[in-house]
Structure 1
Amino acid sequence: MVRILRRRSTPRGTDPATTVQTLAVLLQAGAVPMVAWRHIADLGDPHAMSIVERVDAGEPLVSAIEAQGGAWRDLAAAWEVATTVGAPLAEVLRTIADTVRDAAAAADDVRIALAEPAGTARLLLWMPFAGLLLGFALGFDTLEIVTTHAVGAGCVVTGLVLVLAARVWTARLLKRARPRPGTPGMRAELVAVALSGGASVDRALRLVDGTGASRLDDGHQLRTVLDLSRSAGVPAVELLRASAAQDRHTSRVEGRLRAARLSTRLLIPLGVCTLPAFLLLGVAPLLLSVLASTPLPF
């Protein structure tokens, strides 16, 4: 009963990085993994509660974590690799928490950069309908024009088609500019975890490829880092983590560049579709209404 009341009194969600950081602290203090998960679940973390419920139902812990989706799949992969090779779990979780937090911050920067052009594009899509309402506000019977005159009806149909085309075009541009799901550099981080646990390079790569971690990394770049470590006689762990950090930085910069280019690219559907739709839906019916109400000179 106390546990139920506590859960209801603190129905809050936490991001994966915060949960992983808390797990690392509890494990470093000597808590058993499932005991640590239950402590976090008692604090009201919905993902931890779901994981505990799945484990109590007989599902393996790694599968229960992976079922949460998103960044939790990376945590499940790190958990599986660390427990397989015997790497210190608390230290691994601290590293994964920093990685997930850094990747989330980079994705947030990109979303913030995209917010202004995306909002402007959505606002401009309503401009043709605003022109249509303007005719009603000025007292012109544009409704009769578009329902009784073939030219007026054609203008409305063509305008609506252009509005729909602008919406589809703009949505595709926004989707292309958004950051891809996943954590850049996670594959390199997981290989570093496996190597820090004493696994060979080949075994580390097999373990990581067998997990459900993010696949945003360049496999050729990973091999280049490992070859550099072998030829220079330098430990690969630090090189891999440096490479992962560089991947996240590159992802952040590329996301901002995509947002900057989006502001220019959104002008294309504006000029090709939105402005002609405004003329067809707002201006053309208004002109037809004026012509219809003007008596002929003869």
Structure 2
Amino acid sequence: MAPTDPAAVAERVLRLAVLLQAGATPEAAWRHLANAGDADAERIVRRAAAGSSLTEAIEAQASAPRGEPWRDVAAAWDIAAAVGAPLADCLRSIAAALRDACEAQDDVRIALAEPAGTARLMTWLPLAGLLLGFALGFDVLGVLFTNPIGLACLVAGVALLLVARAWTRRLVRGSQPPPGIPGMHAELTAIALSGGASIERAARLVAEAPGAPRAGGAETAEVLALSRDAGVPGVELLRATAAHERQRARTDGRLRAAKLGARLLIPLGVCTLPAFLCLGVAPMLLGVLTATPLPELPG
């Protein structure tokens, strides 16, 4: 099964919303997408024809590689159907949320690309030192494998290189954005409330929706408390909160990427440069020392 592009999921959901707004039934809207050559829609239509509900068919699509956005679509579909909220408007909101989250993740990946690429390039520096020794005519391999000091340099250099690569991968992995779409808890709660559900029922529906539990429950509760105290509808406040959470996730991702450039200097200085000295510089120096005859003592 081919990987699912989150941006493509947002586009399909938006097309569904347009078809539903034009008067198509949910089943007919999915069939129109399938007949247009959409592979995901074809699989969903087949599952629905085999007896699954549309929510179950959509949720099953989340098993595809990078298919997590379909689980949020299934949750929105399930909640909207349960409370009788306008499905087209709900899907438009989810499509906008998916698109914003995808753009935020792209911004973070772009920001991480330069420091991560530089770190991967620097891990090849010790091997470049070996090639430099060969190019200058030194018997680097002979020194590393036959000389006891050279053998110690080889073991130390390889160990430092492995530690540097593992350390770098861990730093890069820790700077990646967390899984899931920020603000989705507030977005789904807004869908439930827009259909006339009470706050208690909305919370229960979100907790029971496909893919639950979701982060953001505390922020949603604060917004709903503010809505009750101020006597204003909570739907728009929740959607504004969801948009703010996605913007905050984008800013946090950029900050993590900026900090990564400085953090990557630590394994570079502690491991990569010493590995370069052990594998590149030390064998050449040993080669010079072993190739130079000792001066004869007089008399």
Q: Structures share a fold, TM > 0.5?
A: yes
Equivalent residue for 2:10, pick from 1, 4, 17? 17
Residue deviations 1:147-180 (CA, integer Å, cap 9, x gap): 1111111111111111111111111111111111
Secondary structure of the corresponding residue to residue 68 of structure 1: helix
Measured in 2, the distance between the counterparts of 1:94 and 1:191 equals 15
1:158–1:216: structure 2 CA closer, same or farther, 3 Å change rule? Answer: farther
1:216–1:120: structure 2 CA closer, same or farther, 3 Å change rule? Answer: farther
Measured in 2, the distance between the counterparts of 1:159 and 1:64 equals 53
2:42 is the alignment partner of 1:44: no
TM superposition shift of 1:137: 1.2
TM superposition shift of 1:274: 0.5
Gaps of 5+ in 1: 1-11
Measured in 1, the distance between the counterparts of 2:216 and 2:265 equals 33
- What residue identity is the alignment partner of 1:90? A
CA RMSD of aligned residues (A): 1.5
- What residue identity is the alignment partner of 2:48? V
Gaps of 5+ in 2: 63-67
Measured in 2, the distance between the counterparts of 1:96 and 1:65 equals 14
- What residue identity is the alignment partner of 1:163? L
TM superposition shift of 1:59: 2.5
Equivalent residue for 1:212, pick from 192, 210, 213? 210
TM superposition shift of 1:61: 1.7
- What residue identity is the alignment partner of 1:78? A
2:198 is the alignment partner of 1:200: yes
TM superposition shift of 1:48: 1.6
Partner of 1:251: 249
Contact 1:187 1:213 in 2 (8 A): no
TM superposition shift of 1:51: 1.5
1:139–1:182: structure 2 CA closer, same or farther, 3 Å change rule? Answer: same
Residue deviations 1:4-53 (CA, integer Å, cap 9, x gap): xxxxxxxx977111000000011111112122112212222222222122
Partner of 2:50: 57
34-43 vs 195-204, which deviates more?
A: 34-43
How many residue pairs are counted as aligned between the two chains?
287
1:214–1:18: structure 2 CA closer, same or farther, 3 Å change rule? Answer: farther
2:61 is the alignment partner of 1:68: yes
